[in-house]
Structure 1
Amino acid sequence: MKRSGIIAILIILVLVLPATADGLRRLTDREDLLGWEAVGRLDLDGRGFCTGTLIAPDLVLTAAHCVYDGNIRDLRPADKIMFRAGLRDGVAIAERRGLQIAAHPDYDPEQPPSVENIRYDVALIRLSEPITSRDADPFVIHSGQNAGNQISVASYGVNRAEALSRQRKCTLLAERNEVIAFDCNVTFGSSGAPVFVRVGGRGRILSLVSAGGNFDGKKVGFGMVLPQRIAELKAQLRRNPVTAPDRRIKRLAPGAGRNSTGARFVRPGGG
């Protein structure tokens, strides 16, 4: 693998990187999607979308710039973010709203794209309810030895927002200072998409799509090394726990309440 300095014009993919279609395959049929259900579209309260991936039944991994409300330091309300696992032509394997967001504290949404910002462009979204592995099996983060320079990407994007598209083969071009460059096909909405290496029988997440620009005269994507960033974000979630609302249904006994008629009512939300 070529290892050299990464000198680039960096542009956040949510905004400007032009789309192409080379090497992409639309996962149209249910059989095509088998094994990729944990990758989904993150709908951002009607203000666009990113790509996210389950790494635990209740944890979605994505880019930090996806969870900020524009170029300001305010996080989007977690419950306004909807994760739609395996979305295909309007039908998702499962849908869950966000409950809690942890964006890496060293990512600065007010700063333009840079190598430094890409390194920390990582966020975790805790879901309001888990998605069982029966519906979508979470992916594992790659750690340890480099698995070579052949990688793949699964993502949503402009002009392909209604179904997951997969590029089975692309190349890891360079790595330096925990930032990597790759020639995978990414576009608007691909931010947060998982970059996979093949280990054993299933892909593991090597990086996330963060930004796009030019490297050695080619249009490329940029991502970050993940294990340490994810460990830091999980610690952040543990330090600031959020309790999911009690969604159990409670039954009122006959005669309960001052003006009861004796009928039994079911009150949603347990309130």
Structure 2
Amino acid sequence: MDNPGELLGWEAVGRLDLPGGFCTGALIGRDLVLTAAHCVFDAKTGAPRPARGIVFRAGYHRGSEITARRVLRWVVPERYEVAHLGKDAASRAEAIASDVALLRLEAPVSSAEADPFRVHEVPAGGTDVSVVSYGKGRSEVLSREPSCQMTRRYRGDILGFDCDVTFGSSGAPVFVRENGRLRILSVISSITDSGEAYGSSIQAFVPELSARLSREDARPKVTAGARRITVGGGVRQDIGARFVRP
């Protein structure tokens, strides 16, 4: 989409700028961004990225955006937190199947700036889909593949696509058209050497992650007189993705 006018209708898709790289994300609420879970973890160390170091740039195009918001907090499925550190094939598959993250922005995006997309139920294999993303070699403009297919549904609710994606396309929304409107079916997680892209079935994760964010919002703020102690660490292992590093 070299012409800024071509962004009309796609304003809710944006570049997710991370320390040292980027992913793609999409608004599914005024202050909620959907992306891949591996985007919010450091690819080298496996450590979680600080939320405040992540910026969502809606409708980003050649150095400018419709609006930009810092991320206030993020959540990923508990399944992913465990699986992405695993070395075996079962862990890698589980990491792809749960490779979803929901990000809370520091302030809502207004309806004048962008309209969020809704989430769609998983259709049958062979359904036509489209992917909108930023990527290696085209990080400054939004790129759209208007016609590809969901090829099959694997065990563990991993979805296969024949869409053309690359580095940076991680977290990109996969769209399906319903009654003339675009709905998000999945987000891009990884790609094989043969070119098949994988994504998770996000429908069950979105309500769960949204509820967890709401619980986090309701917690008392941590003051200078108290510290919240968290447990983390460990070295991240490759989950089989070919563009895990944004």
SS of residue matched to 1:186 = coil
Matches within 5 A, 1:1-271: 27-45=1-19, 47-107=20-80, 108-111=83-86, 114-143=92-121, 146=124, 149-177=127-155, 178-214=157-193, 218-241=194-217
Shift of 1:119: 0.8
> Which segment drifts farther, 203-212 or 65-74?
65-74
Shift of 1:28: 1.9
SS of residue matched to 2:38 = helix
1:148–1:173 distance in 2 versus 1, CA, 3 Å: closer
Identical positions, percent: 47
Unaligned runs of 5+ residues in structure 1 are 1-26, 246-271
Shift of 1:57: 0.7
Q: Deviation digits for residues 75-121 of structure 1, max 9, x if unmatched?
A: 21111000000100111010000001111111133235722111100
For 2:179 and 2:92, how far apart are their aligned partners in 1?
34
Letter in 1 for 2:116: P
For 2:96 and 2:122, how far apart are their aligned partners in 1?
21
- Is this contact kept in 2: 1:172–1:182, CA < 8 A? yes
State the TM-score, normalized to the length of structure 1: 0.74
The higher radius of gyration belongs to: 1
SS of residue matched to 2:28 = strand
- Deviating runs (4+, > 4 A) in structure 1? 144-148
1:169–1:145 distance in 2 versus 1, CA, 3 Å: closer
For 2:109 and 2:218, how far apart are their aligned partners in 1?
18
Unaligned runs of 5+ residues in structure 2 are 222-246
Shift of 1:133: 1.8
- Is this contact kept in 2: 1:100–1:242, CA < 8 A? no
Shift of 1:146: 4.3
SS of residue matched to 1:36 = coil
For 1:147 and 1:242, how far apart are their aligned partners in 2?
40
- Is this contact kept in 2: 1:68–1:109, CA < 8 A? no
Q: By percentage of residues, which structure has more helix?
A: 2
SS of residue matched to 1:210 = strand
For 1:133 and 1:89, how far apart are their aligned partners in 2?
23
- Is this contact kept in 1: 2:125–2:153, CA < 8 A? no
State the TM-score, normalized to the length of structure 2: 0.82
Number of corresponding residues:
214
Shift of 1:171: 1.2
